Amino acid sequence: MRIEKCYFCSAPVYPGHGMAFVRNDCKVFQFCRSKCHKNFKKKRNPRKTRWTKAFRKASGKELTVDNSLEFEKRRNIPLKYNRELWSKTVEAMKKVEAIKQKRQSRFIVNRLKKGKELEKAADISEIKKNIHLIKAPHAGQAKQLEDKMVQKLAEDVEMDE
């Protein structure tokens, strides 16, 4: 029993789900649902269909080359069952998975950092241009002027005295 990968969107295909298509050149295509199957029949390129994993990896939106990704690889030579190797593998799998997740999220965060900076700059320029919509430029000036006059008067009075 194996969990296959959907050819189109790279989602896991559990047993009992999806469809498989075998072409005349003996290449097998697994699909997770009819959406992917229909897209495939329409001859759409998964590397150009924005919602697929293939697109995301091809356009650099997700982590592609990393050591933690090298652990999961389809192996053609089966090994004989060996309890200790299997149990070690399961533990290793869990750790590798944790590391992989960390690295993938870090990659995405790094990618989005630039956006945050641009946001900040946009906010600042917005304020500079359109502050008049929420705050009148001469908002506190009357009071200031008054205060100044009062101060001046007080000074004058002082001076007179």
Partner 1 sequence: MALYNFKKIMVVPTAKDFIDLTLSKTQRKTPTVVHKHYQIHRIRHFYMRKVKFTQQNYHDRLSQILTDFPKLDDIHPFYADLMNVLYDKDHYKLALGQINIAKNLIDNVAKDYVRLMKYGDSLYRCKQLKRAALGRMCTILKRQKQSLEYLEQVRQHLSRLPTIDPNTRTLLLCGYPNVGKSSFINKVTRADVEVQPYAFTTKSLFVGHMDYKYLRWQVVDTPGILDHPLEERNTIEMQAITALAHLRAAVLYVMDLSEQCGHTLSQQLELFNSIRPLFANKPLIVMANKCDVRKISELSEENQKIIADLIAEGITVIETSSLTEEGVMQVKTEACDHLLAHRVNTKMKGKKVHDVLNRLHLAIPAKRDQKERPPFIPDGAMVRRKAMETDAPKRKLERDLEIELGDDYMLDLQKYWDLMNPDEKQDRIPEIWEGHNIADYIDPEIMKRLEDLEREEELREKAGEYDSEEESEDEEMQEIRQLASQIREKRKLKILESREKNTKGPRLPRTAKKVERGTLEKDMSDLGLDMTDKDDSHYAQRSRSLVRKRKREVSAPPTSRTRSQSASRPPRDQSGVRDAKMLKKVKVLMKGSQKEMNRQGKKGESDRHVFDLKPKHLFAGKRKSGSTSRR
Tell me if 51 contacts partner 1 by CB under 8 A: no
Q: Quick check: 131 binds partner 1 (CB under 8 A)?
A: yes
Contact flag: residue 85 with partner 1 (CB under 8 A) = yes
Q: Of the two residues 123 and 156, which places its CB atom closer to partner 1 in the complex? A: 123
- Check binding of 2 to partner 1 (CB under 8 A): yes
Structure tokens at 136: 């009148």
Hey, what are 85's tokens? 């190797």
- How many helices (H) and strands (E) the chain has is answered by 4, 4
Q: How many positions of this chain bind partner 1 (CB under 8 A)?
A: 50
In the stretch 133-152, what mask flags binding to partner 1 with x, by CB under 8 A? Answer: xxxx-xxx-xx---------
Does position 90 bind partner 1 by CB under 8 A? yes
- Residue 55: partners with Cβ closer than 8 Å, 6 or more residues away: 46, 47, 48, 49, 61
In angstroms, give the least distance from the CB of 141 to partner 1.
9
Q: Which stretch binds partner 1 (CB under 8 A): 37-45, 48-56, 57-65, 72-80?
A: 72-80
Does residue 9 contact residue 57 with C-beta atoms inside 8 Å? no
Least separation, in Å, of the C-beta of 63 and partner 1? 13
**21 and 37 in contact (C-beta within 8 Å)?**
yes
Report phi then psi at 13, rounded to 5.
Answer: -105, 110
Coil vs helix vs strand at 30:
strand
The token duo for 160 is 């007179």
The residues that touch partner 1, with contacts defined as CB under 8 A, are: 1-3, 12, 67-68, 70-75, 78-83, 85-86, 88-90, 92-97, 99, 102, 106, 113, 120, 122-124, 126-127, 130-131, 133-136, 138-140, 142-143
